Chains A and B, each alone.
Chain A
Amino acid sequence: MGDPQEDLIRIEGLSLKFDEKTVLEDINLSVKKGDFLAIIGPNGGGKSTLIRCILGFLKPQKGKIFLWGKDSNHFSEWYRIGYVPQRAGQNLGHLNPMTVNEFLQLPSKWYRISIDLSYLDLLTEKFGIKSLLRKRLYQLSFGQLQRTFIVRALALKPELLILDEPSVGLDFMLQEVFYKSLAEFHKKGITIVLITHETWLITKEVNKVACLNQKLYFHGEHREFCKLAEENIYGFPTHVIEHHHW
């Protein structure tokens, strides 16, 4: 066991501009082992952009990102992170014959790590996609595809799970199952970063909240956030309804 307070992600003074438009400004944030962090904020607030910086897809003009204490530019152990992108599978064409089973095995091929097939079997059962393994990806509904991406993100037993608006496309019942499962994985020790702009999704399982709108307006404990929510943390008045799924 490592240090329970170990920083899995540490962001120091991160700023990013697209052309002349500031997207992120002087962001300082850390995600510690065992955190269940919800990043919230309005559309265009920079939530997904921040994640894309953390995962190395975008290079910020200023600041540093450390993953497990290593500069992200030199980080190589990407198998430790499970990632579900926003609008997963939107590039999928109907000519692609890749099956769900082949898709789920991809991370083990990228990172050259063997996959625990019995664990994968459990995951497919838990998320209700076991019967879909031989189907082509494009034959899946959006909700089924979303669950397939989630299973793939969990397939290599990651220490950190990053989800960018994962419940979009899931019906209410599946959202319940999904958030229950997420809480279970968190209890088992997986650190979770969840991006959403739906504040009602911040459940009792979330222990940290970051509120982002170009700048980081709030970063702290969930309870503290609920107290402050009635005030002006976005830069405009908001009203948070705390919602418990279970």
Chain B
Amino acid sequence: MDNLLETLFEYIYLFKWGLITGVLFALASSFTSPFVILKRNALFPHALTHIMLLSFLSVAVFSPLIPVSLHFFLILFITLFLTYTIHILIKGSRLYEDTATSIVTHLSLGFALMLASKTSQYDATLLNYLFGSLLTVEKKETFEGLLVLLISSASYLKFRYLWLTETLEREVPGLNYGKSNLFLLLMITLQIMIGIKLMGVLLVTSFFVFSPTLALRLSPSFAWVIPITGALNLLAILGGFTISVAFDIPFSASAIIFMGSYIVFLFILGRK
């Protein structure tokens, strides 16, 4: 036990930027994730990560030609643009939302793989993007995480009633969901951009599913949902880190395994 604690503290120091960023990501995502579940669109953030992988690789391929300071904004712009194509497909081709999302997701992944295989990005860097690594997180990303947390909380305070109402009613006199939806998309994109370094493209959206779902079941009213989601996400970061150190397995996998325990509670609550 003493040995584990000693190792844990050593690793906390080693992974401090990754852990702090994880905490910031856990809190930031709690402001948006419950709305994703309530909109019955839990797979949307997952689709977004695939689109983002294409954005990352596109920027990586052309990185020698683009100033580093523009990378972040370029990734954000390409991701939002490709996400908008889902909307264009829905309107233009009259597809169901999940069908259009699936089409864009698969196309993005296909193009991403093509870019990766034709460039030097098809290596450990890609592996880190796919599954994440606490070690790769730097001080700069922690500050970005703090910024995303602040923007997420401000957006939540401004749009929370619109985000919530849309889960109940599509049409309310005088309410226009266009702007609030754009902000929800923007916040989720920014949060995923922060979380990808820790959890990887394939697993980052687990924070948008497990914790908010349990929080929605546990909360006596909506007012409790965000604090409980934040607490469960924080627990997942710390629990995942402990399992990762104790059993020497990747952090992202450990966090998922920890959040898997939430399913037991969901099952118990579901039988009530």
Contacts and interface: CB of A to CB of B under 8 A. Distances in A.
Contacts of A96: 38, 167-168, 216, 222
Contact of A78 (B165, B167, B173, B221): B173
Contact of B168 (A52, A81, A98, A101): A98
Contacts of A83: 172-173
A207 to B, nearest CB: 24
A99 B224 CA distance: 11
A129 to B, nearest CB: 16
Contacts of A81: 173
Interface in A71-109: 76, 78-79, 81, 83, 85, 89, 91-93, 95-99, 101-103, 106, 109
A91 B171 contact: no
Interface in A126-155: 134, 136-137
A106 B161 contact: yes
B164 A98 contact: yes
Contacts of A106: 161, 164-165
Nearest to B175: A110
Contact of B174 (A56, A99, A102): A56
Interface size class of A (residues with CB under 8 A): 20 to 34
A73 B162 CA distance: 20
A186 B33 CA distance: 43
A57 interface: yes
Given A81-B173, A101-B221, 13 more contacts: A78-B174, A79-B174, A89-B168, A91-B168, A96-B38, A96-B222, A99-B221, A102-B221, A102-B222, A106-B164, A110-B174, A134-B220, A136-B221
14 contacts: A52-B171, A55-B173, A85-B169, A91-B169, A96-B38, A97-B219, A97-B222, A98-B164, A98-B168, A98-B222, A99-B220, A110-B165, A110-B174, A134-B221
Interface of A: 52, 55-57, 76, 78-79, 81, 83, 85, 89, 91-93, 95-99, 101-103, 106, 109-111, 134, 136-137
